[in-house]
């Protein structure tokens, strides 16, 4: 049997920013590239041709299926793979797709779409979608928007067999920046309203309209369309039915209709017993209704079940790290702090890049007077195998104000190796920020590794400049930076400016330098006031840093109150308040 070839088919318009990475990702996976351009005015066409693509110029007619089908007409491969410019094939998929193309008895393959939301910090949803199918003239896309190929294949070949693969497509098109820049929501709404007029009885269109309303925050309207879609479909025969139910539950929760949400979850669990996402929704609902014990029981059931079966749209970490993190939060609610720490540790073990549970571990041990446990706990339960990982850990500990843990780790740990200058700088900063200015000054005198500006700050605050003239120069520079004077080099206000404020404020507070603390606070407020109209975005950033710094100062004062009495029932209210304070990176 001759080798089976793959044609990549795409439709694009003004995609010069995203297209190169997409086409780069498929090198070695496909045999030809067909790009249908619907009227680009940038360098999209030239870029496509540079990657060897055949470009089909197509007059846009507000119909995505028509544009897709124009690409099918031009393709010559045995298989069709279709992507958008904001998608990338995973490296492993490049190796696997040609192998899948050689299989007999399969009409199409589902690939796992990883949708990245937010702007890099959001979660990941995982959706299995039919993206590769045999190239036959009778198979054509249908639908003006959210075009589909599966219905066409099944209508032509009732016995068609589809296979689920673990090939990953990374999709970045629903990050907030891209959605806003391309006005996707308005475009989708217009096309959906048009297609509903043309095909009013199709529940798939109602579902998609509900998704757009939900994306816009119009929850009540979204709920109506999800309910209409559900009432018009057959759950056992429709691949997207579980998503309609899941989004209906999400809407009911957002509207506070908890009884209705529980009823829908119960219905869903009977229809989709392998859908772990519904257990999460059930646990959240039970906890909101005050049934914390039942919520934790359901989450442990979710851990036992593991991630949702591969045919379901799911969210990364449900059944693993998201579930452990939620268990940690619920344990904190009932003040079972050791259980919470254990749950957060498990969350990090599943996903080491996950920051919220790391911050909560640091915070709990810090507030309960057990910060000295952190180095041993980290060494025993986490794997720190690179300089980069160690650097990240040190930053998190510093952000969490766990300076004694930083000093202990830098002193005791030899592996992985850290450059000596990094160790020295980290030690000085930890000593300075926690108020041990005498030892900070001692180390600073011996250290030449500091960036000049940071060293100026430290020398000024520690009062160790080698001469009166240098002291005055450094102080003048610091005051200019604090007050954002007329020196053009100090403008515009940046995150570094606010970080300098925050570090100096915290260091002065820990060192008991009340005059400096008050002076920096006043200068900070003056800077915010003077710039609120000319640099509103910078002032917003500065305000957020200011609130964080004031929170840190308040927490320091509360820690003194807590330490004045033995740990008993009298200190628990203070501990509870401290654990509820907003903390670094917005995590609490």
% helix, strand, coil for the chain, step of 5: 60, 10, 30
The residue-averaged pLDDT of 174-194 equals 71
Question: Are 82 and 160 part of one and the same domain?
Answer: yes
Question: Are 163 and 65 part of one and the same domain?
Answer: yes
What is the pLDDT at residue 486? 43
Largest CA distance in the chain: 89
**In the predicted model, what is the mean pLDDT of the chain?**
87
What is the pLDDT at residue 496? 78
Question: Are 21 and 37 part of one and the same domain?
Answer: yes
Residue 295 lies in a domain: no
Please choose, from the candidates 336, 224, 238, 320, the residue with its C-alpha nearest in 3D space to the C-alpha of residue 279: 320
Quote the number of domains for the chain.
3
The CA radius of gyration of the chain, in Å to the nearest whole number, is 29
Question: Higher confidence at residue 384 or residue 247?
Answer: 247
Chain centroid to Cα 364, Å, comes to: 23
Residue 530 lies in a domain: yes
Q: What is the pLDDT of residues 287-320, one digit of tens each?
A: 999 999 999 999 999 999 999 998 999 999 999 9
Question: Are 34 and 58 part of one and the same domain?
Answer: yes
Residue 475 lies in a domain: no
Question: Are 24 and 68 part of one and the same domain?
Answer: yes
CB-based burial of residue 351 (10 Å sphere; 0-12 exposed, 13-18 middle, 19+ buried)?
middle
Residue 401 lies in a domain: no
Residue 472 lies in a domain: no
Domain boundary pick from 243, 273, 303: 273
Q: What is the pLDDT of residues 30-83, one digit of tens each?
A: 999 999 999 999 999 999 999 999 999 999 999 999 999 999 999 999 999 999
Looking at the chain, the whole-number percentage of residues with pLDDT higher than 90 is 55
Residue 556 lies in a domain: yes
With contact defined as beta carbons under 8 Å apart, do 54 and 33 qualify? yes
What is the pLDDT at residue 527? 83
* CA distances (Å), origin 107, targets 9, 130, 162, 285, 478: 17, 10, 6, 41, 69
Taking the C-alpha atoms of residue 81 and residue 79, their distance in angstroms, rounded to an integer, is 7
The domain spanning residue 38 has which CATH number? Answer: 3.90.550.10
Residue 216 lies in a domain: yes
Taking the C-alpha atoms of residue 587 and residue 571, their distance in angstroms, rounded to an integer, is 23
Q: Are strands 108-116 and 124-134 parallel, antiparallel or unpaired?
A: antiparallel
What is the pLDDT at residue 20? 97
Encoded tokens for 43: 């360098």
Q: Are strands 79-82 and 108-116 parallel, antiparallel or unpaired?
A: unpaired
Q: What is the pLDDT of residues 429-474, one digit of tens each?
A: 888 888 888 888 888 877 766 666 566 667 766 765 554 444 454 4
Question: Are 212 and 86 part of one and the same domain?
Answer: no
Return the SS3 of 281: helix
Question: Are 27 and 165 part of one and the same domain?
Answer: yes
* pLDDT class of 117 with cuts at 50, 70, 90: confident
pLDDT of 414 over the 70 cut: no
Taking the C-alpha atoms of residue 544 and residue 204, their distance in angstroms, rounded to an integer, is 43
Q: What is the pLDDT of residues 72-107, one digit of tens each?
A: 999 999 999 999 999 999 999 999 999 999 999 999
pLDDT of 481 over the 90 cut: no
Question: Are 174 and 188 part of one and the same domain?
Answer: no
Please choose, from the candidates 201, 190, 179, 213, the residue with its C-alpha nearest in 3D space to the C-alpha of residue 144: 190
Angle at 362 between CA 360 and CA 366, to 5 degrees: 115
- DSSP H helical ranges for 119-237: 150-156, 176-182, 184-198, 203-215, 219-231
Please choose, from the candidates 65, 83, 31, 59, the residue with its C-alpha nearest in 3D space to the C-alpha of residue 139: 65
Asked if omega into 300 is within 30° of 0 (cis), the reply is: no
* pLDDT class of 230 with cuts at 50, 70, 90: very high
Question: Are 12 and 111 part of one and the same domain?
Answer: yes
Taking the C-alpha atoms of residue 394 and residue 405, their distance in angstroms, rounded to an integer, is 9
The Cβ of residue 269 has, within 10 Å, a number of other Cβ atoms equal to: 16
DSSP result, 202-227:
-HHHHHHHHHHHHHTT-HHHHHHHHH
Place of tokens 């304070």: 581
Q: Any idea of the CA torsion for 276, 383, 122, 252, to the nearest 10 degrees?
A: 30
Residue 78 lies in a domain: yes
Question: Are 251 and 152 part of one and the same domain?
Answer: no
Q: What is the pLDDT of residues 389-403, one digit of tens each?
A: 888 888 889 888 899
Question: Are 230 and 149 part of one and the same domain?
Answer: no
Domain boundary pick from 248, 273, 298: 273
Place of tokens 């008050």: 518
Encoded tokens for 241: 């039915």
- DSSP H helical ranges for 232-386: 241-254, 258-271, 276-288, 292-305, 321-333, 337-350, 356-367, 374-381
Q: Taking the model in full, what pTM does it have?
A: 0.84
Question: Are 98 and 231 part of one and the same domain?
Answer: no
Domain boundary pick from 273, 290, 306: 273
What is the pLDDT at residue 450? 65
Taking the C-alpha atoms of residue 581 and residue 334, their distance in angstroms, rounded to an integer, is 16
What is the pLDDT at residue 121? 47
The domain spanning residue 208 has which CATH number? Answer: 1.25.40.10
* pLDDT class of 588 with cuts at 50, 70, 90: very low
Taking the C-alpha atoms of residue 350 and residue 182, their distance in angstroms, rounded to an integer, is 35
Q: Which domain holds residue 586?
A: 482-588
Asked if omega into 529 is within 30° of 0 (cis), the reply is: no
């Amino acid at each position: 049997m001759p080798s089976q070839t793959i044609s990549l088919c795409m439709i694009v318009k003004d995609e010069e920013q995203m297209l190169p990475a997409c086409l780069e990702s498929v090198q070695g996976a496909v045999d030809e590239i067909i790009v249908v351009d619907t009227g680009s005015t940038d360098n999209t066409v030239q870029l496509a041709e540079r990657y060897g693509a055949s470009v089909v110029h197509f007059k846009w007619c507000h119909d995505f299926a028509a544009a897709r089908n124009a690409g099918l007409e031009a393709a010559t491969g045995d298989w069709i793979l279709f992507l958008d410019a904001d998608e990338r094939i995973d490296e492993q998929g490049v190796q696997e797709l040609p192998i899948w193309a050689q299989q007999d008895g399969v009409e199409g393959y589902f690939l796992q779409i990883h949708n990245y939301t937010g702007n890099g910090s959001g979660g990941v949803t995982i959706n299995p979608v039919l993206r590769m199918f045999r190239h036959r003239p009778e198979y054509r896309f249908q639908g003006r928007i959210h075009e589909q190929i599966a219905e066409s294949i099944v209508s032509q070949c009732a016995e068609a067999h589809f296979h689920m693969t673990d090939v990953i497509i990374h999709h970045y098109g629903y990050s907030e920046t891209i959605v806003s820049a391309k006005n996707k929501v308005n475009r989708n709404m217009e096309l959906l309203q048009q297609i509903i007029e043309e095909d009013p009885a199709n529940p798939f269109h109602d579902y998609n309209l509900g998704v757009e309303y939900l994306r816009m925050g119009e929850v009540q309207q979204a709920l109506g369309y999800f309910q209409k879609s559900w009432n018009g479909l057959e759950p056992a025969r429709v691949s997207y039915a579980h998503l309609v139910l899941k989004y209906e539950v999400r809407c009911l929760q957002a509207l506070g209709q908890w009884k209705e949400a529980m009823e829908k979850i119960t219905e869903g669990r009977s229809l989709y017993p392998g859908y772990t996402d519904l257990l999460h929704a059930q646990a959240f609902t039970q906890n909101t209704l005050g049934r914390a014990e039942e919520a934790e029981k359901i989450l442990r059931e979710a851990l036992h079940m593991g991630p949702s079966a591969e045919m379901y749209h799911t969210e990364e970490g449900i059944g693993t790290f998201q579930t452990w993190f939620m268990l940690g939060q619920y344990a904190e609610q009932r003040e079972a702090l050791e259980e919470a720490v254990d749950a957060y540790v498990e969350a990090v073990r599943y996903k080491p890049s996950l920051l919220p549970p790391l911050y909560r571990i640091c915070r709990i041990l810090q507030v309960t007077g057990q910060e000295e446990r952190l180095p041993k706990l980290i060494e025993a339960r986490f794997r720190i195998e690179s300089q980069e990982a160690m650097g990240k850990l040190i930053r998190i500990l510093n952000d969490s104000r766990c300076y004694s843990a930083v000093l202990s780790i830098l002193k005791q740990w030899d592996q992985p190796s850290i450059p000596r200058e990094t160790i020295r700088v980290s030690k000085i900063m930890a000593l300075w920020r926690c108020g041990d200015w005498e030892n900070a000054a001692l180390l600073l005198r011996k250290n030449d590794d500091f960036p000049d500006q940071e060293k100026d700050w430290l020398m000024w605050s520690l009062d160790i400049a080698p001469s009166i003239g240098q002291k005055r120069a450094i102080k003048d520079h610091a005051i200019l930076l604090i007050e954002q004077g007329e020196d053009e080099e100090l403008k515009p206000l940046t995150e570094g400016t606010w970080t300098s404020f925050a570090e100096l404020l915290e260091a002065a507070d820990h060192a008991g330098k009340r005059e400096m603390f008050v002076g920096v606070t006043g200068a900070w407020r003056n800077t915010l006031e003077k710039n609120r109209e000319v640099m509103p975005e910078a002032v917003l950033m500065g305000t957020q840093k200011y609130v964080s710094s004031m929170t840190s100062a308040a927490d320091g004062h509360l820690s003194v109150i807590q330490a004045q009495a033995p740990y008993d029932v009298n200190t628990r209210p203070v501990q509870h308040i401290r654990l509820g304070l907003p903390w670094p990176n917005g995590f609490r």
